[in-house]
Structure 1
């Protein structure tokens, strides 16, 4: 166990991140604690000497137990703190705030009331002013790089195994993914697919139970996970492309054990432990319930777009609020043996196709990574399955889901086009233009929401408006409509267009980790988006004009085509019903 901990520490110290936010910033933030406590930040960042000392100390069999006695059992400087839940806490807080405001209001003099009204009017006038941004340094379109640099791969073939390898600065880590095409799945299998993949690396493998497997993972890898990718095919929106992947990372010195563990997990995962399956379902339900208020705007957009494409409808059923309802039903079902068999059968079904492999490693290890895979990977006999596709019936949506939340999350969506359409770049810029020019002020500054905006989702062919932690419902939907009218009626300048374009380009050009950029390049290639396609799309973004924006607004953002959705607190149920929404209870 001590060696497992040391192994994970070494992995975390070596890994070059940067997918969430810049790696340099991660380094600076991790060093701050040392600086603020008058220690040497270099020692904190260079863990190799510390790991060596720990390994020497760990040779003493009493090492861990001595630490437990010293710092935990015999430590007199401790506090035992007990929290007790109170179901009336939110209600009491709201009532206390209401009473406080009423007391303040009752104590106001006439002149103080007048002053507050005047300040409100002054604030509104200030919010409507356009700031002089010319006084600030700026980046212009002329400063944008001419093209996006995409990592290049080398393809290897050996005994029918296809390996795509990227040579990146991974600092002694190797990343591996085994990618398999999805077969045709029925409705129940599609619903169970995310759970099957999520539990694949959390259960036993072969003769080992899940605890033994977790111990192996800690000793050999930095984590294993599985995920699926289901998207519309480029050039044919009526067809979908589906595959899934088993993904892991490990230190280069563990190549052989890494691939054997990945191989065993892929083909020999054991879903027969019904108690473990029950625990995993319960954990999934808990995470899903806790995520509602934090991701309410995403769930609202998920609902609003659910009738606009096959991929959007699938996402609604498998990751939206219906998935929460389904998890509750699975958690209540006492027949976990039947559920475990369904997971096992689905696992067998999705492992029938021949995998292809992605490997990412640094210059000194990439060849050994490929050779070790060829020597240690054993694919099962593959079968040709029918091509994956999704059934789909377009529908217009008007739904509100009542959730245990104090605020609301609103969304309005319009059917548009997918990424390969010529109008997709203009729609992408339009989202940033509306957010910068109107929605931020109307929804956040004046409406009181934590956030709001608009975006084009070219993966599903939808243009979406949204608000986040919003004290309003109908007023926000009015603001969505006002944003469109504002764009049509106001004369806009080239500077606002440039800002919107740069916002989209920054999201495209945002640097990632060395491994993350290679993964992105590989999966884009799988989906038909090679480096030429990506750079052509990027250039189209840079070429968008105000006339293009006016055209797509008139063509796609038509009131009769819109779908609306909201995740709301109980007190806004009647307001949502008055807007024609069907009410669902979470």
Structure 2
């Protein structure tokens, strides 16, 4: 609608750089941790296609990787814990750009803006390295070619989201999808010697007066003060109301509650178009793979290669998995693994420093990374743990991808104390932020750890409070005893990568590109040093370290006005018992869609209430998200069995849940996601017949199966647990009403 564009008016008057302070809620341990960011509005009139492409490349040049100059200047400055701001934001009519730091000391707060501006001036004057520009151009073009290939979202949804910034503000939405001509023109200007990006730095940032620096000052008393002020305001309002007005408010509240508890009439529900169970695909979706086993001279065992023939636009997705527990890694070293993995791909090598390696990766590939992964298997009491080195490239760049991945595995330069310290600070900052913004994930991780070996590993390696404590201790060691940390990292590389007992490789590509990838895989496997035999039972004593089951709940006190509440029941046999029955998954979907939606979301006021039944471990988890209540939500969780036995669940409810469950199982996947899913199934031990059996159970779920899940949950009640992330005040109220219900920790 052209009227949208024509009806918008910008602010009039001369702009000038500004600065402001705002208080932010913080725990007592965060009292000295400020946040500072410098931000710009980039334009008034819309950019043309070439300018949009140039600004996107500029964002990647400045902030796209940890080695990008502005990101690197901030992260390595020692002024803060974590880079914030995000660089370019293009969702609004006027794009913005921001950069700053979180976890800044009060005395350093005024230095952040100066660092940002000084870094930009140096780039505008000295210019960007040609290899850096080429790497960023290649990276952006690769992402546009791949599009939703690695986003984890349906391609149609990503198409819609990509065109909305144009469409919402009266521009041609299809223009947002046309990039080849703009990038070709951009490359022509760069190759002609035009200082495109240096000019943008000066025009859009340094000379742009539409700039504000925001300083968030931590205030441990803010949350309690705001809550007290709100209560005082409400008391003042209440004092001015007459008895009749108070009675009227109570009557309206009762009427609202009644309407919330009254089911929609059948005639209203009948108006909603819906599928039937008969419309569902009867066959479980299986992803074909070609499994090959190769004896490799350097390996004590062998290499297993999983080849997935998928349409990938000549892009190959390649992953090498090295066993961790089977390599004899001590349980005490588990928390080191995520940081160690990041160091492998982020610190460069003796030949290529961090910046040169980042540009090398950007110039030849779509990305190279290393990560630690742990998960359950269908073998009782077992888990799978791998360190993966992964990368992607178009077919003609596969030799360069292989060279880079080999360097990451064999030659990463781990002896960089300053950068490792920064990585650990960023981990700490991210974990502290997760407690406030996604506490339900922390709750789920803590609850599951005593019941599943893989969950215990995950809680110690990124998912829970144990990992937060471990990262704080690691930071102390990096700062005071670096040699011991370097020795630990060196030992991890020696045991996991330089002497692997076996290697698992997964490659996803179209048929022609798979053939090209075979040679790269052979070269990497052939370069591995001599190996050792697998070590059995490295973490067999996990139960003793995982903590007691049942008893008082774990409480995590943080400065927040909302809660994250959870309960867990070991409903089925646990690791090694086979996939949980399909009917139980359907019934658990009804619990989420009906019972928890009504009692936690609608009546309780939480942003979300949901449950999950893990098909491998058999753990049944109930969670609430941004929940104003705590004991009331636990009471709702306690009522699940009674709900299932109340007779409220009808076959129509079950049919809707069957359709929803099938929809989740049959969600669209990109080629890359299909390869990753097949790899996960292989490591877990899931076979085609198991999936079909479970599919049959899902499609045949009946009212009788509701009682089966109720019985399983009732039998597990005594062995269950609960936990919450909430404010100290919320836990204090629970303690007064039910002493000893929570054992409270204060990690912030």
Indicate the TM-score class for this superposition, using the shorter chain for normalisation.
Answer: over 0.9
Seen in structure 2, the aligned counterparts of structure 1 residues 455 and 67 have a Cα distance that, compared at 3 Å, is: closer
Matches within 5 A, 1:117-132: 117-131=250-264, 132=266
| Distance (whole Å) between structure 2 residues aligned to residue 186 and residue 449 of structure 1 | 41
Matches within 5 A, 1:134-533: 134-155=270-291, 160=296, 162-182=304-324, 183=326, 184-234=328-378, 236-318=379-461, 319-333=463-477, 334-351=480-497, 352-353=499-500, 354-375=502-523, 378-387=527-536, 389-390=538-539, 391-393=541-543, 395-397=548-550, 398-417=553-572, 418=574, 421=578, 423-533=580-690
Seen in structure 2, the aligned counterparts of structure 1 residues 404 and 342 have a Cα distance that, compared at 3 Å, is: farther
5+ long unaligned stretches in structure 2: 1-131, 297-302
Deviation at 1:438, TM superposition (A): 1.4
| Distance (whole Å) between structure 2 residues aligned to residue 164 and residue 511 of structure 1 | 21
**Aligned with residue 160 of structure 2, among 24, 28, 32:** 28
Preserved CA contact (<8 Å) 1:414 1:462 = yes
| Distance (whole Å) between structure 2 residues aligned to residue 83 and residue 233 of structure 1 | 48
1:292-321 Cα shifts (integer Å, max 9, x gaps): 122211211222222212222222333211
Seen in structure 2, the aligned counterparts of structure 1 residues 565 and 17 have a Cα distance that, compared at 3 Å, is: same
Deviation at 1:92, TM superposition (A): 4.5
Matched residue pairs, number? Answer: 584
1:543-576 Cα shifts (integer Å, max 9, x gaps): 2232223123223334322211111211123344
Deviation at 1:325, TM superposition (A): 1.2
**Aligned with residue 741 of structure 2, among 577, 580, 583:** 580
What SS does the corresponding residue of 2:435 show, helix, strand or coil?
A: coil
What SS does the corresponding residue of 1:270 show, helix, strand or coil?
A: coil
**Aligned with residue 116 of structure 1, among 245, 249, 253:** 249
What SS does the corresponding residue of 2:389 show, helix, strand or coil?
A: strand
Seen in structure 2, the aligned counterparts of structure 1 residues 91 and 580 have a Cα distance that, compared at 3 Å, is: closer
What SS does the corresponding residue of 1:230 show, helix, strand or coil?
A: strand
Preserved CA contact (<8 Å) 1:158 1:374 = no
Seen in structure 2, the aligned counterparts of structure 1 residues 571 and 91 have a Cα distance that, compared at 3 Å, is: closer
Deviation at 1:430, TM superposition (A): 2.8
1:563 is matched with 721
RMSD: 2.4
Seen in structure 2, the aligned counterparts of structure 1 residues 582 and 80 have a Cα distance that, compared at 3 Å, is: closer
Seen in structure 2, the aligned counterparts of structure 1 residues 155 and 423 have a Cα distance that, compared at 3 Å, is: closer
Whether 2:177 is the aligned partner of 1:45: answer yes
Deviates more, 1:451-460 or 1:168-177: 451-460
Seen in structure 2, the aligned counterparts of structure 1 residues 280 and 26 have a Cα distance that, compared at 3 Å, is: same
Seen in structure 2, the aligned counterparts of structure 1 residues 270 and 576 have a Cα distance that, compared at 3 Å, is: farther
Seen in structure 2, the aligned counterparts of structure 1 residues 313 and 365 have a Cα distance that, compared at 3 Å, is: closer
| Distance (whole Å) between structure 2 residues aligned to residue 488 and residue 407 of structure 1 | 31
TM (normalized to structure 2)?
0.74
| Distance (whole Å) between structure 2 residues aligned to residue 92 and residue 575 of structure 1 | 17
| Distance (whole Å) between structure 1 residues aligned to residue 171 and residue 256 of structure 2 | 47
Preserved CA contact (<8 Å) 1:270 1:344 = no
TM (normalized to structure 1)?
0.93
1:97 is matched with 230
Deviation at 1:499, TM superposition (A): 2.0
1:545 is matched with 702
2:217 is matched with 85
Preserved CA contact (<8 Å) 2:424 2:471 = yes
What SS does the corresponding residue of 1:369 show, helix, strand or coil?
A: helix
Preserved CA contact (<8 Å) 1:163 1:370 = no
| Distance (whole Å) between structure 2 residues aligned to residue 55 and residue 48 of structure 1 | 11
1:227-277 Cα shifts (integer Å, max 9, x gaps): 33433431x322333333211112222111111101110122221111111
What SS does the corresponding residue of 1:308 show, helix, strand or coil?
A: coil
